[in-house]
Amino acid sequence: DAGVIQSPRHEVTEMGQEVTLRCKPISGHDYLFWYRQTMMRGLELLIYFNNNVPIDDSGMPEDRFSAKMPNASFSTLKIQPSEPRDSAVYFCASRQKDRGWRNGGELFFGEGSRLTVL
């Protein structure tokens, strides 16, 4: 089975440009998460969706960041305008629906999108 698919793998852009990162979760997974990884802050949860509905976006840094999930097989994370401090690796992850207390918490991560903003 295909895992979580992210694109692009690498993006280099100039400050002020719009960046769109894309994610295709594992088929049948009900939850989708966007994480950001930096050396300084580690893995940070930005936002997550349940059945395409945003549940918690408290980790989104500011209004320049937005995320959408128009259907169960696609999500985007957009940064507009981008800034050098947005440089990081952005991960998308998905998981199955909770099934009782032993619910796993088993996130499946994509390979990440490495963003460099000059």
Partner 1 sequence: GQQLNQSPQSMFIQEGEDVSMNCTSSSIFNTWLWYKQDPGEGPVLLIALYKAGELTSNGRLTAQFGITRKDSFLNISASIPSDVGIYFCAGQLRPNAGGTSYGKLTFGQGTILTVHP
Q: Residue numbers of the site for partner 1 (CB under 8 A)?
A: 4, 31, 42-43, 45, 48, 50, 55-56, 91, 93, 95, 98, 100-112
The Cα 93–Cα 104 span in angstroms is 14
Q: Least separation, in Å, of the C-beta of 66 and partner 1? A: 21
CB of 111 to partner 1, least distance (A): 5
Instruction: Supply the minimum distance, in Å, between the C-beta of residue 60 and partner 1.
Output: 14
Instruction: Tell me whether residue 15 or residue 43 sits nearer to partner 1 (CB atom).
Output: 43
CA distance 69 to 48: 10
And the tokens for 52?
């395409």
**45, 61 in Cβ contact below 8 A?**
no
Residue 79 CB, nearest distance to partner 1 (Å)? 20
Q: Is 2 exposed, middle or buried (0-12, 13-18, 19+ CB in 10 A)?
A: exposed
Q: Which is nearer to partner 1, 44 or 83 (CB)?
A: 44
Question: Is the CB of 63 or the CB of 102 nearer to partner 1?
Answer: 102
Nearer to partner 1, 54 or 81 (CB): 54
What's the rounded Cα separation, in Å, for the pair 35 and 28?
Answer: 20
